[in-house]
C-alpha cells in the first residue's frame, strides 16, 4: 500500500513533526479507524484519527502550537487540531485509548473496516521508504476490506450508538460494500432505536446518503432495513395506498419514484443543447425543453437558481414528501373515485413536523413545505390559459423558490406516468412551466413591479387604521399595477379610494 505522492508531500513533514514531539513525551501513537480504512482504499485522507497515551489535551495543544494550527476541544475524549494549507484543510483528531489496550480499543469500534490500526512510526516508515504497512488487525478488517464486506465488530454496536445504522448505509454506498447478512439482521432488529440519535447527527448522515445520484436505490434499501419508516413514520399509510387511474404507482412508490424522476430531469437539463433537442421529454420536438434549459441558465446567472440545487438533499426530501398529505386525506366517493382533497395544505403541515424532526434548518424546512403546498399549481395552470394575475400570485407566494417547485412538479408528472409513455398532458405541463419561468426570469419587473405606495403612506393618505385591509389593499394595488391598470402613485391612490368604497364594510 502506498499513499499518492501529492498527498505524501503534504502530510509527511507534518507527521514527522508530530512523531518527533510524541517521542519526546514517550507517548505511544497509532493511526486508527477511518484514516486507516481510507488509506487502504487508496482514498485521499484529510482527517487523521490518532490515539495517544498520556495527557491527550496537553499534547494536542502542544501539537497545534508546533504546527501553527487551531486547537478545538471536541468532547471529553477527543481533541482536534486543524491546519489551513493552500486553501485546503487538514484535520488531526487525537483521543485516548478506549480501554486498557489498543486491541480493546479496536474491539469497541463499529465495523471491522474501522477496527484496524497502524503505529505512527510504521506509517512514517511506509511513507518514507515505501515499506509495507504492519497492520494491527484483531478482527480481520483487512479481509473484509478486500472482499468489500461491511461487518459489525459485535452484536451491540447499534445499541451503543443508533446512528451507526445510517453510517452503515453511507459506507455501503460510498465504498460499494455488501452488508453481510448478520449485520443486516442487526440493523433490522435495532432500527426502532434510530430516533435516540441526536437530530443534528441524523440530519448530517441522511443528507450525505441522499446527496449522490441514484438516491432512490438507497431510499429503498433504507426501507428494506426498516430505517425509512423509522425516520418518517408518516409514510407508513402510503404503503399500498391506491391512486386514481392516471397514476402508475401507489402513493408510497410514487413518492420514491419522484426522487428518481427529479434526478432524471436534472440529468437531461444538463445535457448539451444539441442532445437535449432530441430528448424524449419534448414530445413535439418544438424546442421547449431546450428553452427551459436556457431559462434556467439565465436564472443561474441572475443568482436566483442553481443547477446543483436541483438534486440537493433538500430538493430530494421535498420530492419524497410532496404527497405526504395524501396519507391523511385519502377518500373514496360514492362512485368509487379516489380523492385526496386538500392534500397539499395538509402535507405542508406534516412536512414541517418531519423536517423539524430530521434536524432541518429553517430554510430547508421552508422549501420542503413550499413544495408540498404548491406542487399542484403548475399542472393546474396548464389546464387553461395562464393569466398575468395567476403568474404574479404564484411568484408572490413563492419568489425564487417557485422555480424549484415547478421543477419538482415536472418530476411529479414523470413519476405519475411511471414506465408508461408521456402524453400531451406532459407537453401542456411543460409549456405551463415554461410560461411561468419566462415571465419571472425575463420579465420580473413586469409581474412584480416596485410598490408605488408603502403601508405607512397608504395608512396616512387614506386615513386607515393598521389591520388586514392595509395588506389586502397593497396587494390589490400591486396586481393592478402588474396588469397595467395603474402606473403612478396618484393612480394608485385613486384605485385605493375606489377599492375602499367597494369594501365599505371596512
Name the packing angle between helices 401-417 and 388-398 (round to 10°).
110
Task: Give strand pairing partners of 72.
Answer: 80
pLDDT of the residue at 140: 97
What was the pLDDT predicted at 156? 97
**Alpha-carbon span 353 to 380, nearest angstrom:** 27
Rounded-to-5 percentages of helix, strand, coil across the chain: 60, 10, 30
Q: Which three cell numbers stand for residue 40?
A: 487502504
| pLDDT beneath 70, residues of the chain | 1-9, 504-506
Task: Give the end-to-end CA distance of the chain in Å, rounded to a whole number.
Answer: 80
Task: For the chain, list the domains and their CATH numbers.
Answer: 1-142 (3.30.460.10), 148-231 (1.10.110.30), 245-447 (1.10.3210), 455-502 (no CATH)
Q: Are the C-beta atoms of 318 and 367 separated by less than 8 Å?
A: yes
Beta strands 47-52; 88-96: pairing state: parallel
DSSP secondary structure of 15-60: HHHHHHHHHHTT--EEEETHHHHHHHTT----EEEEEESS-HHHHH
Residue 169, SS3 per DSSP = helix
pLDDT of residue 7: 60
Distance of alpha carbon 107 from alpha carbon 97, whole angstroms: 11
- CA triple 214-218-223, angle to 5 deg: 140
CA distances from 505 to 45, 322, 469, 470 (A): 70, 39, 10, 14
CB 61 within 8 A of CB 80: no
The pLDDT value recorded for residue 6 is 47
147: helix, strand or coil: coil
What lies within 8 Å, CB to CB, of 470 at 6+ separation is: 455, 458, 459, 464
Burial class (CB in 10 A: 0-12, 13-18, 19+), 482: buried
For residue 1, the model assigns a pLDDT of 45
Amino acid at each position: 500500500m502506498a499513499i499518492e505522492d501529492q498527498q505524501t508531500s503534504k502530510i509527511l513533514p507534518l507527521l514527522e513533526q508530530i512523531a518527533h514531539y510524541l517521542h519526546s513525551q514517550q507517548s505511544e501513537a497509532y493511526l486508527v479507524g477511518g484514516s486507516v480504512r481510507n488509506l487502504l482504499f487508496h482514498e485521499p485522507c484529510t482527517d487523521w484519527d490518532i490515539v495517544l497515551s498520556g495527557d491527550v489535551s496537553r499534547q494536542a495543544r502542544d501539537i497545534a502550537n508546533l504546527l501553527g494550527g487551531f486547537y478545538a476541544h471536541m468532547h471529553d475524549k477527543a481533541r482536534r487540531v486543524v491546519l489551513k494549507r493552500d486553501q485546503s484543510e487538514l484535520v488531526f483528531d487525537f483521543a485516548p485509548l478506549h480501554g486498557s489496550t489498543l486491541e480493546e480499543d479496536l474491539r469497541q469500534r463499529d465495523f471491522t473496516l474501522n477496527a484496524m490500526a497502524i503505529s505512527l512510526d510504521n506509517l512514517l516508515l511506509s511513507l518514507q521508504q515505501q515499506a509495507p504497512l504492519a497492520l494491527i488487525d484483531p478482527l480481520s478488517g483487512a479481509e473484509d476490506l478486500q472482499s468489500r464486506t461491511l461487518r459489525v465488530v459485535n452484536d451491540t454496536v447499534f445499541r451503543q450508538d443508533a446512528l451507526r445504522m445510517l453510517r452503515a448505509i453511507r459506507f455501503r454506498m460510498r465504498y460499494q460494500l455488501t452488508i453481510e447478512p448478520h449485520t443486516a439482521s442487526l440493523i433490522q432488529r435495532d432500527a426502532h432505536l434510530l430516533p435516540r440519535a441526536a437530530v443534528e447527527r441524523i440530519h448530517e448522515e441522511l443528507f450525505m446518503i441522499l446527496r449522490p445520484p441514484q438516491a432512490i436505490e438507497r431510499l429503498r434499501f433504507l426501507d428494506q432495513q426498516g430505517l425509512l419508516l423509522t425516520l418518517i413514520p408518516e409514510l407508513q399509510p402510503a404503503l399500498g395506498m391506491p391512486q386514481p387511474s392516471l397514476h402508475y404507482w401507489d402513493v408510497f412508490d410514487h413518492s420514491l419514484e419522484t426522487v428518481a424522476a427529479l434526478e432524471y430531469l436534472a440529468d437531461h437539463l444538463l445535457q448539451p443543447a444539441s442532445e437535449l433537442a432530441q430528448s424524449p421529454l419534448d414530445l413535439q420536438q418544438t424546442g421547449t425543453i431546450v428553452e427551459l434549459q436556457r431559462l434556467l441558465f439565465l436564472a443561474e446567472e441572475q443568482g436566483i437558481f442553481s443547477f446543483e440545487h436541483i438534486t440537493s438533499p433538500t430538493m430530494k426530501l421535498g420530492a419524497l414528501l410532496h404527497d405526504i398529505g395524501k396519507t391523511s386525506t385519502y377518500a373514496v366517493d360514492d362512485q368509487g373515485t379516489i380523492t385526496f382533497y386538500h392534500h397539499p395544505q395538509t402535507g405542508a403541515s406534516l412536512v414541517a413536523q418531519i423536517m423539524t424532526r430530521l434536524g432541518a434548518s429553517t430554510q430547508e424546512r421552508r422549501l420542503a413545505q413550499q413544495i408540498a403546498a404548491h406542487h399542484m399549481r403548475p399542472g393546474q395552470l396548464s389546464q387553461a390559459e395562464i393569466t398575468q394575475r395567476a403568474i404574479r400570485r404564484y411568484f408572490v407566494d413563492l419568489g425564487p423558490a417557485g422555480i424549484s417547485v415547478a421543477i419538482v412538479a415536472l418530476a411529479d408528472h414523470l413519476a405519475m406516468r411511471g414506465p408508461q409513455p408521456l402524453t400531451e398532458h406532459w407537453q401542456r405541463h411543460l409549456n405551463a412551466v415554461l410560461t411561468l419561468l419566462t415571465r419571472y426570469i425575463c420579465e420580473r419587473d413586469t409581474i412584480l413591479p416596485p410598490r408605488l405606495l408603502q403601508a405607512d403612506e397608504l395608512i396616512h393618505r387614506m386615513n386607515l387604521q393598521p389591520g388586514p385591509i392595509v395588506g389586502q389593499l397593497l396587494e390589490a394595488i400591486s396586481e393592478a399595477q402588474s396588469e397595467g391598470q395603474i402606473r403612478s402613485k396618484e393612480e394608485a391612490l385613486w384605485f385605493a379610494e375606489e377599492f375602499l368604497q367597494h369594501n365599505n364594510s371596512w
